[in-house]
Amino acid sequence: MIAFYRIFWIPNLFVIPLLTMRSIAEERRMGTLETMMTTPVRPFQLVVSKFISAYFTYSAFWALTLFFPLFTEMIVPSTSLGIELMTPFVLFGCMLFILLSGACFVSIGILSSSLTRSQLVAGMLTFTGVFIVIISGRLLAEMPLSSISFVYEWVSIVDYMQTFEHYEMFSRGILDLRPFVYYISSTIGLLTLASYVVEQKR
Amino acid sequence: MKSLNKFDEFRLARKLSFFNRFVQVVLLVTLIIGVNLFAIKFTVRWDITQDRSNSLSPETVAHFQQISDDFSIFVAVNDKLQLPGGRYVMQDIEPMFDQYLHVANRLGMDDFHLEYINIYRDREKVLQLKESFEFDQENVILVSSNTRRRAIPINELYQKNSETGELEFRGEQVVTAAILEVSDPVEKRIYLTVGHGEMSLDDADPQHGLSELSTYFNYRNIELASIDLSRYDSVPDWVDVLVIASPQAEFSDEDVEKLRFYLEKTNGSIILFLEPFRQHNLDDLLYDWGILCEDSIIIDPGLDFQTSSGNLILRRFAEHPITQSLVDNKLYVYSNRPRPVRLDPSAPRIAGVQRTALLGTSDTSWIETGFREEKIPSFTFGRDVAGPITLGVLSERRSAESLGLKLKGGKFIVYGDSSILSNNLFGFYGNRVLISNSFNWCLQRNHLLSIPPNRIKNYRLTISEADLGTLLIALLLLPIGVAVFGLIIRVIRR
């Protein structure tokens, strides 16, 4: 299960842009955003509602993957299984990470969608943003930053934002407060920025 | 018409609005950074596994609380290093050190430094560490505190479970022991007696020298020095362990009494290495501790138990912490010409004294008593004793064990061969492990033996082709079902 969820970044890179690219961009293109702003709906409420719908769909997609270990345990004869396939803490940790990091990625998509009228541009911005968040940490970790004295302090920041390290931790059953704070604060920050953008452009 | 207030002018209003928004964004970002910094400083962690395998043991945490010195750990291990079976070593090492970091942060140990070194990329750093640690192996973990240091080879982190045969990871035990070793303010000293023709620490002779032994233990923060017992009324208190390495002449009665007092009254530790054909005048002391050391030699003609140079290969070990790692890792001890050292059946039973036969020879060996008469030794029924023969015995006194307390008691280890210490044979890994474990056992560097190792879980599904086919179909049902559902929705919406 750990190996299966370790490739979370591949579907996320494509699903999240597809889920979020038309959320606000389409509203602006169709002209319905201005109409909505005349109602007693605040920009932040609009952004949060878009976020919740995209996040709910994202969560539903990932929740379906829980059927894979369930089917395997039902079909494979119990004598062949030397261990519990559905180890509770592994499944819980993996899903918790998927949901937590997904909130941050979806908020990146919402922000990207609020910046432009074009769905395509919004999709590309989201893809780039999610790619930077997930992959750049790993790439920077591979570089010999510690040998460069003036960037030595940045190594700890890079380590803090490493998404793969967060996944490894959660999948082993360690729930650390730092990824929680990182992802939740990033989500709130990005959604707040998106609401500023929406308010600015009305 | 009333002129507009400056602040009502459109341009200024826009600028003010922009400035307002800019300040809000800056404050928001600052708040997020501040919250994250706070989380880094005061982080909390929950281990939700059933066996809490991702947390350090309470003993390790308790020992950490006692450490006041700063220490550093350098992990110079190849990322691609794998165990047999394909598991990467870093899969075990990284989570373990993550726990150490977390505990150190929680306890406010700002002087704890952990660094991963890529041995191919960080060449300068590797060369620096090689110089200061004087190690010549790849894939080691280096622990240092002030001037003391310890290098842990990767193979020390793993052991085979003697019951199940499964590989276990004992990294926490080994690393914590190393940390305690280097940060222990009290330096451990082992003294070797002189004055009876014993082997010397300064001697580089292959057969009789102990220079290799001295160098080896210096790297492990154990100082070896010589002591002449005739200059003291008794064995001094600052002697942690006394080693008698192959005495060629007899001990005086006064010296024997000093040894007896040291063992029985001050609960000291003695490790005695004897050679055949040498009188030592320690028979009474050995008898009191239930050990019989005969003046004969052990012969083992078995082809599996002899090297080409005539050394004996010892493969039989006790289930005891001193020899357990030899059993687990299937190591051998090489011996040149041992004499038997056995549990004395006629010795009086002394309350609290426990004796253990540590190592022995094979079934094809025997005690040759007629070595002076026979040119070619052969087994003689009725005179020689058939194997297996013990050549290492531990006799220790345990006090207050019935009260559940483990207090220091006297320890007396006797080996019937001194060549295992010599420069010639000390280089063999099994010999080093045996000697090292004997010394550490006497120094009581075994306080972490209660930290259980982590079982390495390897998962393997064994299923038939039919089951595999059924499984594949079942797994494909879900994505196909979702795709069909999507198509239905599309058709309905049209």
Q: Which residue has the higher pLDDT, B83 or B69?
A: B83
Which residue in chain B is spatially nearest to A184 when comparing CA positions? B32
Tokens of B302: 């078995």
- For residue A114, the Cα-to-chain-centroid distance in whole angstroms is 17
Angstrom distance (rounded) from CA B403 to CA B52: 30
- Average pLDDT on B170-197 reads 84
Four-point Cα dihedral B2, B5, B8, B10, nearest 10: 80
Q: How many CA atoms lie within 13 A of B413 on its CB side?
A: 26
Please give the helix or strand (H or E) that residue B368 lies within, else none. Answer: strand B366-368
Answer yes or no: are the C-beta atoms of A198 and A24 closer than 8 Å: yes
In chain A, how many H helices and how many E strands? 12, 1
Q: Answer left, alpha or beta for residue B146, where phi above 0 means left and psi between -120 and 50 means alpha.
A: left
Band (A14; pLDDT cuts 50, 70, 90): very high
Answer yes or no: are the C-beta atoms of B245 and B207 closer than 8 Å: no
Residues 113-152 of B with CB under 8 A from A: 115, 118, 121-122, 124-125
Tokens of A8: 């979370």
What integer best gives the mean pLDDT of chain B? 83
Q: What is the DSSP string of A108-150?
A: HHHHHHHH-S-HHHHHHHHHHHHHIIIIIHHHHHHS-GGGSGG
In this structure, chain A runs to a length of 202
Q: Judge whether residue B336 has pLDDT over 60.
A: yes
Determine the 3-state secondary structure of B399 from DSSP. strand
Place of tokens 């960037």: A151
Band (B40; pLDDT cuts 50, 70, 90): confident
Q: Which residue has the higher pLDDT, B294 or B135?
A: B294
Q: Which residue has the higher pLDDT, B33 or B182?
A: B33
- For residue B124, the Cα-to-chain-centroid distance in whole angstroms is 28
Q: Do B467 and A196 touch (CB under 8 A)?
A: no
Query: Which of B16, B31, B40, B103 best tests the A interface by mutation, with the highest count of A CBs <10 A?
Result: B40
Angstrom distance (rounded) from CA B437 to CA B331: 13
Residues 315-344 of B with CB under 8 A from A: none
Top-ranked range on mean pLDDT: pick from A54-58, B45-49, B187-191, B466-470: A54-58
For residue range B392-448, what is the model confidence (pLDDT) as tens digits? 999 988 765 445 544 557 899 999 999 999 998 988 888 988 998 899 888 876 544
B141 phi, psi to nearest 5 deg: -110, 130
Answer yes or no: are the C-beta atoms of B193 and B160 closer than 8 Å: no
Give the closest residue to B361 by CA, choosing from B334, B384, B380: B334
Neighbours of B281 (CB within 10 A): 15
Write out chain A residues lying below 8 Å of B105, CB-based: none
pLDDT at site A105: 96
Tokens of B388: 């297996």
Angstrom distance (rounded) from CA B365 to CA B304: 11
Answer yes or no: are the C-beta atoms of B92 and B104 closer than 8 Å: no
A87 phi, psi to nearest 5 deg: -65, 120
Band (B369; pLDDT cuts 50, 70, 90): confident
Q: Which residue has the higher pLDDT, A187 or B216?
A: A187
For residue range A73-118, what is the model confidence (pLDDT) as tens digits? 777 765 555 455 667 788 889 999 999 999 999 999 999 999 999 9
Four-point Cα dihedral B431, B434, B439, B441, nearest 10: 170
Q: What is the pTM of this model?
A: 0.68
Answer yes or no: are the C-beta atoms of A98 and A2 closer than 8 Å: no
Q: Which distant-in-sequence residues (6+ apart) come within 8 Å of B469 by Cβ? A: none
Q: What is the DSSP string of A83-115?
A: S-SS-HHHHHHHHHHHHHHHHHHHHHHHHHHHH
Band (A188; pLDDT cuts 50, 70, 90): very high
Residues 19-38 of B with CB under 8 A from A: 21, 24-25, 28-29, 32, 35-36, 38
Determine the 3-state secondary structure of A39 from DSSP. coil
User: Does B455 contact A at CB distance below 8 Å?
Assistant: no
Which pairs with CB-CB distance under 8 Å and at least 24 residues apart come from A73-77? A74/B474, A75/B467, A75/B470, A75/B471, A75/B474, A76/B461, A76/B463, A76/B467, A76/B471, A77/B463, A77/B467
Angstrom distance (rounded) from CA A87 to CA A84: 6
Which residue in chain B is spatially nearest to A172 when comparing CA positions? B54
pLDDT at site A79: 52
Please give the helix or strand (H or E) that residue B317 lies within, else none. Answer: strand B316-317
ipTM above 0.85, yes or no: yes
The 3-state secondary structure of B95-125 reads: HHHHHHHHHHHHCCCCCEEEEECCCCCCHHH
Band (B137; pLDDT cuts 50, 70, 90): low
Of all residues in chain B, what percent carry a pLDDT higher than 70?
89
- Average pLDDT on A145-163 reads 67
Which residue in chain B is spatially nearest to A81 when comparing CA positions? B461
Question: From the list A67, A76, A147, which residue is nearest B463 (CB)?
Answer: A76
In chain B, how many H helices and how many E strands? 12, 23
